Each structure stands twice: as C-alpha cells, then as structure tokens.
Amino acid sequence: MVTQYKNLINGEMVTTGEWLDVVNPANEEVIGQVPACGQGELDKAVAAARAAFKTWKNTPIEERRAAIMAISGAIKENADELYRLLTSEQGKPHDQAKGEIYGAAGMSAAQSTLELAEEITEDSDTRLSRTRRVPVGVVGGIVPWNFPVMMAVQKIAPAMLSGCTIVLKPSPFTPLTTLRIAELIADKVPAGVVNIITGEDDLGPMITAHPDIDKITFTGSTATGKKIMEGASADLKRITLELGGNDASIVMPDADPKKVAEQLFWASFSNAGQICVAAKRTYIHEDIYDELSQAIADYAKNITVGDGAQQGTGVGPIQNKKQYDRVVELISDAKDNGYKFLTGGDVDPSGTGYYVPITILDNPPEDARIVAEEQFGPVMPLMKFSTEEEAIARANASEYGLAGAVWTADTDNGVKIAEQLETGTVWVNEFLHLSPFAPFGGHKQSGFGAEYGTEGLKEFTYPQVITVKKDNVVA
C-alpha cells in the first residue's frame, strides 16, 4: 500500500479523493500519492489565507517569530524521518538530504530574527514622515523539485514574518516531504496562515491568475518565470522570480590544482548538478588547465553514482524523466559534435532509475549547447582561457546572471574580478554558500527581486509613508 499524503488547508489535513503518483527516481517505483487539486481546492486555500490575513497581519511580531521557530523546531526534531523521505523522492544522497533538512530548519530560524524597522524619512519643523512596511496580503508560493524543502521554507518563513499568509504549491515531482512537514506543523501555526496544496503543473497558472492572491514568489525555470510574469500582469500582482542560471567558475593561474580540484568538483556535482547556482561552466587558466582538468577527472573516478539511500553514493539520479532526457540529449549533442570527454558521457538508457554518469568535457567551444545552456545535471564543461579580461567576458556572455565564482590565491584580485561579473552572487574561493541575512537573487534572465535578508523580507510588503503636518491647521 502506497502512503497517501494530504494537503494543508485552513489548519486541516485534507484531500480531494483524486491522487497523483510520486516516483522514486532511483528505482522508478511509486512511493507515495498526493492530492490532485484544481480550482476548487485552490479557492478554498486562498479563502482560508485571506481570512487568516485579517488577524495575522496584526499579530505581534514576537508571536509570528515563535510560529516560524515552531516550524523550524518540527523540522529539526523529525529530521531523521524527513531526510530519508527527501532522498526517496528527490534522489539526493542521504548526507545531502540531511544538509537540506537541517539547512531548512536553520535558515528559517535565522530568517525569523530579521527586522523590518520603520524609517523616519522626514522630521522637520513642519512635518514628521515615517515609512512603514505593510504586508501585501495573500502570497502564492511556487516551488521546484531540486531543493523542495529549502525552497518551501524560504518562502513560508519570510511571508509569515512580514504578516502575510501563504498558499504554497510544491513541484508535483517532489511534494512528499513538504506535505509531511505540513502535517507536523498543522497544529503549530494558526489556521489559514500556511496552506500547502498539490496538483499538476496546471495548478501553477491557476495560482498566478487567482484574483485574491496579491503576490507570487516563484523559484523555477526561466521559461516558467516568463509565463508567470505574463499571467501576473492581468492584475499587476507583485512577483519575485528566482530562475535559472549558467554559473561560471573562473580559476586563475595562481590556484593550486591539488587544493581546488575537489571543491570545483562539488561546485558542479552536488545534488547531481541540479542546483540553480551550481558551477555549470568552469574556465581554467591555460597555465594550469592540463594539471587541474586531470585532477578533477581523477577525483571524479572515486565518486559513486547510485541510489542516494545507499551508503557511499556521492551523486544520485536525475530527479525526473523529463530532466533526464534533457541531460542525455545535451550529452548526445556533445558526442555528435565530436567534443572530447575527460570522463563519463556513456549513458545506459536500459537500466532502472534516471542515472547519468559523471560527465566532464575537455575544452568544448563556447557555443556548444552543453556550455551555452543550463544543463542541470551531472555535467561539467571545462574551458581554457588565456587572459583575465577574456575569462570575464566569456563568463558574462550569457543570458543568465545568477551566480559565479573566482578561485585565486590573490583574494584582492579575486574581488576585483568578482565586481566585474554580472551576477547577483559571486564567491571568491568557494561556491554554493547562501546566507539568511544577505539578499539572494538574479540579474538578466535569472530573474529579479530577492530572497533572504531584509531585502527578501521587504518583497512581501509595500512601503507606506505616513506624513503628519506638525502645525495642526485643522484643530
């Protein structure tokens, strides 16, 4: 008997009676079912969120913080169960799933401490003017399948803190852990403040179009982000779009190949490369190219691709068949064009599970599809460069602008290079680190707006300026 997971609407765990199957990407077995919601359930969830907003927006901030901490605590207390469930639906190895679960608990706890202080914008002889942040109302949150728990929590926590209520839709590929968390928090959060509903992809446009939702916070592909922007224009909903990336690493000639090989590997292959900010293009200076590319390929040979639930697995399967087919197509295109592989490239489509071998390409051209497109899989093209200016220009020659990194012994110069990269986040000598106190967001077609930090929190509010004339001419 497959476990059935319910939705959270107005504080109750409910179902429609119609179910969607959820598959384990490691073995293609159905491991759970979730409700298939349509317009009717969405309307109920939005009505509950709207009703709850009336009191939640006026609930003292300390109570709102406490409710977020209760969610964080529930996640932490049940981490053992949750990370195993996450691996079974998402595919990532147990240690990485554990990282996501504890990360979600930690990030939400940290976000609960953020402040949105009022600002005095004028205090003159004639007037006192203050700017306060007012919650926008009911938020629609739409989440992808690569970090389902982290992405859900990073929308729920700031929405709650700001005084908004939320209707959240997980990806149909990875809804189970989020719904299990919904069950754990149902009695810890006032009814209607957090609603979590599941459905096929067509539930997304219904959320975007819903007249009683005030804002959409979306994480997912650039293609879907464009549709959301179009849909949200009908009633000018506020939108935050966290979209795709084709993030570049630049490795300067003073980097020690022995020290950076392992880090560069994991910058690209954590979560089987399915990270919006994974290093998807790695530019290595020609002086160290041969040594470093070989060191990365050698390191890769010791990493096991397999079921994330098995001990020793470093890289799990691709999360779903559609994405698997896309990555396989990019690898086939690279083969058809005669690009050189340092390792990997041989996919076995006859097996069970969506496995792609760790694939590293040796200096493919800049216009190769596997370089120019976001692969979102365990694929890493290594490219040679000669000058700093050239590396910066090539890194910036992308429609995306999410993240990037510079690897160098000279961190001052690393910062100078970082300042020239056209991305929302740049790391010097690391990758993937995000802070709950710093804004995370993209430039160009990687989206706009931010999550995390006070800037992220402000996205759930609008500024209201109240100006009082000091010489009261009315009295």
Binding interface with ligand NAD (CB under 6 A): 142-146, 169, 171-172, 201, 204-205, 208, 219-221, 224, 227-228, 242-245, 276, 374, 376, 402, 442
**Is 242 among the residues known to form the active site?**
yes
In which residue are the tokens 């209760």 written? 70
Measured from the CB atom, the residue of 67 and 432 that comes closer to ligand NAD is 432
Structure tokens at 273: 């490369």
- Distance, in Å, from the CA atom of 199 to the CA atom of 42, rounded to the nearest integer, reads 10
Smallest distance from ligand NAD to CB 349, Å:
21
Long-range contacts of 426-433 (CB under 8 A, 24+ apart): 427/403, 429/405, 430/263, 430/405, 431/249, 431/263, 431/266, 431/267, 431/277, 431/278, 431/279, 431/405, 432/267, 432/270, 432/275, 432/277, 432/278
| Cα 197 from Cα 345, distance rounded (Å) | 39
**Contact assessment for residue 434 and residue 150, using Cβ atoms and an 8 Å cutoff:** no
Nearest approach in angstroms of CB 352 to ligand NAD is 22
Whichever of 263 and 271 has its CB closer to ligand NAD, that residue is: 271
Question: Which of residues 121 and 437 has its CB atom nearest to ligand NAD in the complex?
Answer: 437
Smallest separation (angstroms) from ligand NAD to the CB of 405: 16
Residue 222 C-beta: closest distance to ligand NAD, Å: 6
Instruction: With both helix axes pointing from N to C terminus, report the angle between 94-111 and 148-162 in degrees, rounded to the nearest 10.
Output: 10
Which residue number has the CB closest to ligand NAD?
204
Q: Give the shortest CB-221-to-ligand NAD separation in angstroms.
A: 3
State in angstroms the smallest separation of the CB of 373 from ligand NAD.
10
The residue among 207, 219, 284 whose CA lies nearest residue 42 is 207
Opening angle at CA 236, ends 233 and 241, nearest 5: 70
Residue 294: both structure tokens together: 């070989």
Shortest approach of ligand NAD to residue 219 CB, angstroms? 5
Q: Give me the catalytic one of 242, 374, 451, 459.
A: 242
Nearer Cβ to ligand NAD (255/279): 279
Judged by beta carbon, residue 97 or residue 276, the one nearer ligand NAD is: 276
**Do residues 452 and 111 touch, judged by C-beta distance below 8 A?**
yes
Residues 180, 82: Cα–Cα separation, whole Å: 8
Q: Which is nearer to ligand NAD, 108 or 208 (CB)?
A: 208
The tokens for 247 are 């993030």
Please tell me which residue in 41, 276, 451, 459 is annotated as part of the active site. Answer: 276
Which amino acid makes up residue 467?
T
Which one, of 345, 352, 316, lies nearest residue 91 by Cα? Answer: 316
- Write out the two tokens for 46: 């939005």
From CA 152, how far away is CA 142, in angstroms rounded? 8
Nearer to ligand NAD among residue 196 and residue 360 (C-beta): 196
In degrees rounded to 5, what are phi and psi of residue 45?
Answer: -65, -40
- The residues annotated as belonging to the active site are 242, 276
